[in-house]
Amino acid sequence: MRTQVAIIGGGPAGLLLSQLLHKAGVASVVLERRSREYVLSRIRAGVLETGLVNLMHEAGIAERMDREGFIHDGTLIANGNDQFRIDFKELTGSHVMVYGQTEVTRDLYEARDAAGATVMHECSGVKPHDLTTDAPYVTFFHEGAVHRLDCDFIAGCDGFHGPCRQEIPLSVRREFEKVYPFGWLGVLSETPPVDNELIYSNSERGFALCSMRNANLSRYYIQCQLSDTPDDWTDDAFWDELRRRIPEEAADRLVTGPSIEKSIAPLRSFVCEPMQWGRMFLCGDAAHIVPPTGAKGLNTAASDVNYLWRALVAWYKDGERGGIDTYSETALARIWKAERFSWWMTTLLHRLPEQSEFDIRMQDADIAYLQHSTAAQTAMAENYVGLPY
């Protein structure tokens, strides 16, 4: 088999890259380890920056998002019962789109199918070879046979646990990591959201987030112990704890119901440098992870895709290799800013096990500054809606 770009990983990064390349006349093959049903059953991010929304338009997959997604012009921040709003529209002229990652992925699969693209599921033993030559290739098992895919370039869109990052020799690879001493317990329920905007809440009992997918589908999170399992939390225990962590007037309005999904995610900040090695380029979670507090996971994957797609198209259409050579540098410059913002939002809003009274006063002062300073709100809003590509 031969293609121009071999894409390892059929999550949002890999599929979006494949679709954008297709629109520009560049061929690709996507190799995914899991079944399509499995990929589509993962409940993850829900907030899209304008940059990603624009890429979806460019990729020709925005129709359902434009119809069913919700534009949010602001968000609510709470500290105990104190609540204030950050007005994205007034402060930045921009907004975010609330539309689930699962829906983005579904729209991408449909577009790839409609274009007759090759997306191979349940591939195992995927391995890139000869990355520092002009003729890289990938080997893998599929339906009981060994396959070889020759290509010009390889995109490693294989998530945090994928094999591509490991191909960068240890002598050049640097990894930066911070693991947070708590997790997020998330619940999806077929109930109307408690507010028409998101509520990020710091409380004495820990962090809580009220989010949504649509008018009758809510997504809620609470900070939990890393040792907790979803089975430790009955639905009633979850709702009780959530009520205690959000402002009273919101707790009074909260509509509860059975959970239709319940999961725990650990929180981590991680960056791998460089993001390219020879003819292989890393995109998304394969290269970096953010804690979900700033809603940046999917959005940083999209910004990598933006740079890589443009660089590859410039190579194929104009023989221009500047974008390819500087991909890692360009992508990392934006990634580190998203890492900083996600770390800051996480530190601002969570209770840490070793936090002293002084640390809590610092957190309170930071939130009060955000509440009363237009400069601080503008900085928060500009990062939340997404820094320019």
Determine contact, residues 200/349, Cβ cutoff 8 Å. yes
Closest approach, Cβ 264 to ligand PHB, in A, equals: 14
Structure-token pair, residue 231: 């089975």
Q: Which of 137, 307, 316, 384 is catalytic?
A: 384
| Closest residue to bound ligand PHB by CB | 46
By CB under 6 A, residue 185 contacts ligand RFL: no
Binding range to ligand RFL, per CB under 6 A, among 74-82, 193-201, 297-305, 363-371: 297-305
**Which DSSP state fits 2?**
B
Which two tokens mark 67? 């119809």
Q: Which is nearer to ligand PHB, 280 or 349 (CB)?
A: 349
Residue (134 or 311) nearer to ligand RFL, CB: 311
Of the candidate residues 5, 9, 327, 363, the single one contacting ligand RFL (CB under 6 A)? 9
Residue 182 C-beta-side C-alpha neighbours within 13 Å: 21
Tokens describing residue 225: 């112990």
Give which of ligand PHB, ligand RFL, none residue 10 binds (C-beta under 5 to 8 Å, depending on kind): ligand RFL
Is residue 388 part of the annotated active site? The answer reads no
Q: Are 289 and 269 in contact (CB under 8 A)?
A: yes
Three-state DSSP class for residue 211: strand
Instruction: Name the CA radius of gyration of the chain, rounded.
Output: 21
Residue 293 binding: pick among ligand RFL, ligand PHB, none (C-beta 5-8 Å cut-off by kind): ligand PHB
Whether the CB-CB separation of 62 and 97 falls below 8 Å is answered with no
- Residue 222 binds which one of ligand PHB, ligand RFL, none, with CB within 5 to 8 A depending on kind? none
Sequence-ordered strand ranges (E) for 43-134: 47-48, 70-72, 74-79, 82-87, 96-98, 118-120, 124-129
| Shorter beta-carbon distance to ligand PHB: residue 193 or 323 | 193
Q: Is 295 in the site for ligand RFL (CB under 6 A)?
A: yes
Q: Which amino acid is at 152?
A: D
Which member of 128, 296, 307, 316 is catalytic?
296
Q: Are 162 and 156 in contact (CB under 8 A)?
A: yes
SS3 label, residue 257: coil
Instruction: Tell me how far apart the alpha carbons of residues 28 and 59 are, in angstroms, rounded to a whole number.
Output: 14
Selection from ligand RFL, ligand PHB, none that 285 binds (CB < 5 to 8 A by kind) is ligand RFL
Chain-centre distance of CA 294, in angstroms? 10
**Would you call 220 a catalytic residue per the annotation?**
no
Q: Assess whether 12 carries a catalytic annotation.
A: no
Q: What angle do CA 22, 26, 27 make, to 5 degrees?
A: 80
Residue in 5, 20, 117, 126 binding ligand RFL, rule: CB under 6 A = 126
The alpha carbon torsion through 231, 233, 234, 240 (nearest 10 deg) reads -170
Judged by CB under 6 A, which stretch of 29-37, 195-203, 239-247, 368-376 contacts ligand RFL?
29-37
Binding at 157: pick from ligand PHB, ligand RFL, none (beta carbon under 5-8 Å per type):
ligand RFL
CB of residue 11 vs ligand PHB: minimum separation in angstroms? 16
193 is an interface residue for ligand RFL by CB under 6 A: no
Which residue among the candidates 99, 200, 307, 327 is catalytic per the annotation? 200
Applying CB under 6 A, the residues found at the interface with ligand PHB are 45-47, 198, 209, 211, 219, 292-293, 295
Helices 357-372, 327-349: inter-axial angle, 10-degree rounding: 110
Which residues are catalytically annotated? 72, 200, 292, 296, 384
Q: Which residues bind ligand RFL (CB under 6 A)?
A: 8-14, 31-34, 39, 44-45, 101, 123, 126, 157-159, 161-163, 265, 284-285, 292, 295-298, 301
